[in-house]
Chain A
Amino acid sequence: GENVEQHPSTLSVQEGDSAVIKCTYSDSASNYFPWYKQELGKRPQLIIDIRSNVGEKKDQRIAVTLNKTAKHFSLHITETQPEDSAVYFCAASIYNQGGKLIFGQGTELSVKP
């Protein structure tokens, strides 16, 4: 089955700096890669997603890149703000299977003012 590895487990940056989180996946059939932000005790919130027919996607300060050949994808957050502090999860799935997501281990991002 699918296995998703995520690094780093913790990341501390200064406000205004960029943050990059990386994930690798194992199943070449996976074609949908969402990123979630989770605050303590709450459900994950989708922040951006990418499908395998696209190499890069951007939404304001957030971007995701995908390298299908290498089976890795990354989340880039620019101009970080303290409110970006949270746990971020990457995930992978085969989209037409209805949403069965396999999650990475999570990255605790801390943005220091």
Chain B
Amino acid sequence: GAVVSQHPSRVICKSGTSVKIECRSLDFQATTMFWYRQFPKQSLMLMATSNEGSKATYEQGVEKDKFLINHASLTLSTLTVTSAHPEDSSFYICSARDPQSNSPLHFGNGTRLTVT
């Protein structure tokens, strides 16, 4: 079963509004989570590393003021797309790994964001 839960799975919003996406680790504590974005027929591009209790680390070219990341607990990271525009329409997906085990990375099911 899924060990990383992501919600919502789909969201449609109007330009200028903000959208929050949640990523939860269900049976382990994740001090670090990762947010990726995937445009149609393209690869997964790392946006940022979410660190519990501290600021996220953003990859080059990703606007930290537009993509707000909050990792306030060991099981929840949120990504808020602020002032969304049609070009932000994409598949957003989070991932995390249980640091206490030798398990591989777990991905959430992803969120399909459509900005109209």
Contact = CB atoms under 8 A, between A and B. Distances in A.
A110 B14 CA distance: 36
Contacts of B99: 98
Nearest to A87: B41
A49 B104 contact: yes
Contacts, number: 49
A101 B105 contact: yes
A105 B44 CA distance: 8
A103 B44 contact: yes
A99 interface: yes
Q: Is the interface of A mostly helix, strand, loop or mixed?
A: loop
B32 A44 contact: no
B107 to A, nearest CB: 4
A75 to B, nearest CB: 15
Interface residues of A, number: 17
Nearest to B9: A41
Contact of B43 (A49, A89, A98, A99): A89
B54 interface: no
B43 A101 contact: no
Contacts of B97: 98-99
Given A98-B32, A100-B49, A104-B43, A34 B104 contact: yes
A56 B21 CA distance: 38
B110 A101 contact: no
Interface of B: 31-32, 34, 42-46, 49, 91, 93, 95-97, 99, 104-105, 107-110, 112
Interface of A: 34, 41-44, 46, 49, 89, 98-106
